[in-house]
């Protein structure tokens, strides 16, 4: 198995995905690997993306720096006008750009932890100070507790709705209360399609609300790097001024546009993932040494009791199942399982039972 671990797996999978949807399955099956470590979408992109790539002829052309067609398509999908939308090379890039826009050295970025690691990463790259207010035992938080950490240096708030890696959802009421402070608030909706809960309709109402989304999870385009954000008009102007003009490449633009023409197909896969998530949750809850946390996303976080999570990760890896291990003061001895196909769930559950 080691021989086929990353980067070989990525190379194999990328090659196979270009050839046919079935080929990726074949390779993964032949290698015996369930890749459940990075919250990707096992069903891959819409078949329309593969058809578009078969006749793709824009590799030598720079992308449209104004993202005109992509923004138009995103306006149709989100209900937010095109002039309030900016796309980036994954939502990661938009997180970076927003931190650059709002944070000068010494300024503070506020969030509830544990959460998505890139908020801290980009804050510190911009010489900002990352302030993480600890979530409670169940990884929830109240707006009052979060806002008690606001200082005159707080310049930006990130809230992942739902949160990664915990899967916990936060209420729209909580977001509203944070918005009432007037601080710039980024609601990261990377997993929106798995929940249906969104702040997008509020964009016109709050001048301090920003929403981030991605094609990586629901649309199966993680490798192509397409994310976008919904912003107040002045933030769009300022982002346009600092973003790399060609930040979303022509293949990614084509794939995103094709995805938006095939929403029903992609959402049927989202529904499969959500029902598989519920089945996996029930099974994990029935395994004595595991405590799964309810999730609104495409993964489940699990506390490991009385066993070493790192060792379980290694055992699973030797048996061809890749999962994510977490060990930090706030998350001691945890594993996170991305949701795969029913066969992946069966295999994961069988191996976890065997370990028990
Ligand atoms: N936000 C959250 C909460 C995420 O979990 C992720 C992906 N792991 C991202 C943003 C980044 O997504 P993208 O692939 O669009 O950069």
Q: Residue 239 in contact with residue 101, Cβ under 8 Å?
A: yes
214 CB within 6 A, ligand 1: yes
Give the per-residue pLDDT at 2.
Answer: 47
Examine the pLDDT at 162 and tell me if it is beyond 50.
Answer: yes
Mean pLDDT is lowest, of 28-42, 64-78, 147-161, 338-352, for 28-42
Q: pLDDT by residue (tens digit) across 293-349?
A: 999 999 999 999 999 999 999 999 999 999 999 999 999 999 999 999 999 999 999
**What is the C-alpha separation between 21 and 28, in angstroms, rounded?**
12
Give the per-residue pLDDT at 23.
Answer: 58
Ligand 1 mean position, distance from CA 264 (Å): 22
Q: Which of 40, 86, 90 to mutate to test the pocket of ligand 1 (most atoms within 8 A of CB)?
A: 90
159 CB within 6 A, ligand 1: no
- ipTM value, please give it: 0.99
Give the per-residue pLDDT at 78.
Answer: 98
Q: Residue 162 in contact with residue 189, Cβ under 8 Å?
A: no
Over range 162-168, report the average pLDDT.
98
Ligand 1 mean position, distance from CA 189 (Å): 9
Examine the pLDDT at 142 and tell me if it is beyond 90.
Answer: yes
Examine the pLDDT at 21 and tell me if it is beyond 60.
Answer: no
Q: pLDDT by residue (tens digit) across 225-244?
A: 999 999 999 999 999 999 99
End-to-end, the C-alpha distance of the chain in Å comes to 23
At 313, list the tokens.
Answer: 């990760």
Ligand 1 mean position, distance from CA 214 (Å): 7
Which residue has the CA at smallest separation from atom 7 of ligand 1?
A: 190
Give the per-residue pLDDT at 356.
Answer: 85
Got the DSSP string for 154-184? EEEEEEESS-TTT-----HHHHHHHHTT---
**What is the C-alpha separation between 339 and 321, in angstroms, rounded?**
12
Which residue has the CA at smallest separation from atom 2 of ligand 1?
A: 190
**What is the C-alpha separation between 198 and 43, in angstroms, rounded?**
24
Over range 158-172, report the average pLDDT.
98
Ligand 1 mean position, distance from CA 220 (Å): 12
Q: Residue 230 in contact with residue 218, Cβ under 8 Å?
A: no
Work out the burial of residue 345: count CB atoms within 10 Å of its CB; fewer than 13 is exposed, 13-18 middle, 19 or more buried.
buried
At 127, list the tokens.
Answer: 């010489």
Give the per-residue pLDDT at 116.
Answer: 98
Give the per-residue pLDDT at 9.
Answer: 55
Of the pLDDT bands very low, low, confident and very high (cuts 50, 70, 90), residue 16 is low
Ligand 1 mean position, distance from CA 90 (Å): 7
Give the per-residue pLDDT at 32.
Answer: 77
116 CB within 6 A, ligand 1: yes
Atom of ligand 1 nearest to the CA of 93: 16
Give the per-residue pLDDT at 334.
Answer: 98
Atom of ligand 1 nearest to the CA of 216: 14
89 CB within 6 A, ligand 1: no
**What is the C-alpha separation between 186 and 113, in angstroms, rounded?**
15
% of the chain with per-residue pLDDT over 90: 90
Q: pLDDT by residue (tens digit) across 66-121?
A: 999 999 999 999 999 999 999 999 999 999 999 999 999 999 999 999 999 999 99
216 CB within 6 A, ligand 1: yes
248 CB within 6 A, ligand 1: no
227 CB within 6 A, ligand 1: yes
Q: Residue 296 in contact with residue 307, Cβ under 8 Å?
A: no
222 CB within 6 A, ligand 1: yes
Atom of ligand 1 nearest to the CA of 160: 3
């Amino acid at each position: 198995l080691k021989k086929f671990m990353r980067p070989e797996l990525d190379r194999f999978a990328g090659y196979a995905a270009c050839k046919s949807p079935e080929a990726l399955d074949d390779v993964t099956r032949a290698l015996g690997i369930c890749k459940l470590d990075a919250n990707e979408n096992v069903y891959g992109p819409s078949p329309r993306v593969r058809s578009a790539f078969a006749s793709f002829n824009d590799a030598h052309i720079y992308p449209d720096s104004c993202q005109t067609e992509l923004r138009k398509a995103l306006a149709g999908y989100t209900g937010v006008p095109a002039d309030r939308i900016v796309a980036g090379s994954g939502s990661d890039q938009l997180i970076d750009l927003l931190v650059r826009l709002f944070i000068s050295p010494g300024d503070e970025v506020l969030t509830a932890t544990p959460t998505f690691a890139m908020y801290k990463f980009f804050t510190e790259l911009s010489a900002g100070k990352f302030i993480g207010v600890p979530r409670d035992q169940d990884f929830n938080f109240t707006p009052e507790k979060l806002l008690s950490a606001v200082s005159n240096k707080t310049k930006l708030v990130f809230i992942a709705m739902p949160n990664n890696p915990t899967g916990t959802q936060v209420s729209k009421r909580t977001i509203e209360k944070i918005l009432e402070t007037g601080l710039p608030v980024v609601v990261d909706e990377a997993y929106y399609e798995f929940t249906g809960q969104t702040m997008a309709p509020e964009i016109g109402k709050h001048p301090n609300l920003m929403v981030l989304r991605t094609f990586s999870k629901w649309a199966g385009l993680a490798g192509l790097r397409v994310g976008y954000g919904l912003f107040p008009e002045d933030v769009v102007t300022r982002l346009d001024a600092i973003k790399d003009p060609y930040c979303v490449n022509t293949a990614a633009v084509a794939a995103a546009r094709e995805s938006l023409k095939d929403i029903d197909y992609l959402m049927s896969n989202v529904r499969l993932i959500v029902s598989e998530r519920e089945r996996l949750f029930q099974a994990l809850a029935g395994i004595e040494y595991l405590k799964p946390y309810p999730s609104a996303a495409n993964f489940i976080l699990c506390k490991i009791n009385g066993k070493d999570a790192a060792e379980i990760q290694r055992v699973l890896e030797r048996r061809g199942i890749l999962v994510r291990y977490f060990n930090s003061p706030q998350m001691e001895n945890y594993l996170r399982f991305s949701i795969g196909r029913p066969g992946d769930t069966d295999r994961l559950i069988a191996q976890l039972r065997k370990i028990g």
